[in-house]
Amino acid sequence: MDELFGTLSDGTPVHRWTLERAGVRVRVLSYGGIVQSAEVPDREGRRADVVLGFAGLDGYLAHPEPYFGALVGRYANRIGGGRFELDGRTYALARNEGPNSLHGGERGFDKRVWDVTPVEHGVRLSRVSPHGEEGFPGTLEVSATYTLDASGALRLAYEAVTDAPTVLNLTNHSYFDLGGAGSGGTGGHELRLAASRMTPVDADLIPAGAPADVTGTRFDFREPRKVGSGYDHNFALDKGVTEAPVEVAELYDPASGRVLTVATTEPGLQLYTADHLGEPFGPGAGIALETQHFPDSPNRPDFPSTVLRPGEVFRSETVYGFGVR
């Protein structure tokens, strides 16, 4: 089911689609590919929205930088210095976080209106990103298919092709509060991550050196423990790149009993505890678990490659599963 959600200043309509299956209700916007809400039951069967979002379009337009629920690209995370070299040519990107390019630039995929087509148990979002958009080379045809499976898990499947060599890194930027959005924060949430390494960063949050062992550090989530605060870091998942999604994370709220599992084909996961999140939610109101390739990979040949060439098909898949215990 779709409905008009709002209208941009240039008159472009924004629609909202509602997906419902197995007791889970998810709402998706054509603007930014945003997951506006995800209503799931707690251990008593009471349903609440576990994704931070806004009731109207104005909220997203007024608070764009946190990327609430958005489909992020062309390049999720950071590219150091806002530039990279590919096949001997240097490309200058929009610098929207100090000296760096963050989440696709000034007007990335999160601020575009996508074409939406219904599919079985979901929707397919698509758009053409022209050559030179935010400085990235190649005309990119990209799609993201959002579906609910028989268990109520939200499956995000991305595909893309290009007419010239480019770099690509896509993610969803939902903030989760398993107690219910606006319930008072995620301080009691417990996290497990299948990652024995993380990428140390410099003052600009650009990777500094090779992935480091998490043993004996605050980055060791191989056994479940409270998340706490102070995280905006990429974890190198032990499984690496896989053809099919593999479970890599579990977030648990003891108070409500809700459990979020994350499975992905991607080699990395950015844990962001939103310590500087502003109004209307406030610091620590949600936790982002962004499945993706590593930050600054275009400038790091030792990291898994994010290069996409003509004739190749980019594919990536992430599954957010919901349960209780």
* Residue numbering of the annotated binding site for beta-D-galactose: 77-78, 173-175, 232
Report how far residue 74's alpha carbon sits from residue 107's, in angstroms, rounded to the nearest whole number: 10
**Residue 163 carries which side chain, given as an amino acid letter?**
D
Give the chain's radius of gyration (CA, Å): 18
143 CB-side CA count, 13 A: 15
**Three-state secondary structure of 113-156:** ECEEEEECCEEEEEEEECCCHHHCCCCEEEEEEEEECCCCCEEE
Tokens for 169?
């890194």
**Active-site residue identified among 39, 290, 293, 317:** 290
The end-to-end CA distance of the chain, in Å, is 31
CB–CB of 143/125 below 8 Å?
Answer: yes
CB–CB of 317/265 below 8 Å?
Answer: yes
Tokens for 306?
């994010």
Is 173 an annotated catalytic residue? yes
Tokens for 249?
């994370």
Tokens 């959005």 sit on residue: 181
Is 290 an annotated catalytic residue? yes
Given the DSSP bridges, would you call strands 89-92 and 166-167 parallel, antiparallel or unpaired? Answer: unpaired
> What b/e readout covers 230-267, taking b as 16+ CB neighbours within 10 angstroms?
ebbbbbbbebeeeeebbebbbbbbeebebbbbbbbbbb
Q: In what order do the strands lie in the sheet with 314-324?
A: 115-119, 122-129, 140-148, 154-162, 314-324, 258-264, 246-252, 190-193, 225-226
**Active-site residue identified among 173, 189, 233, 293:** 173
Q: Which residues are catalytic?
A: 173, 290
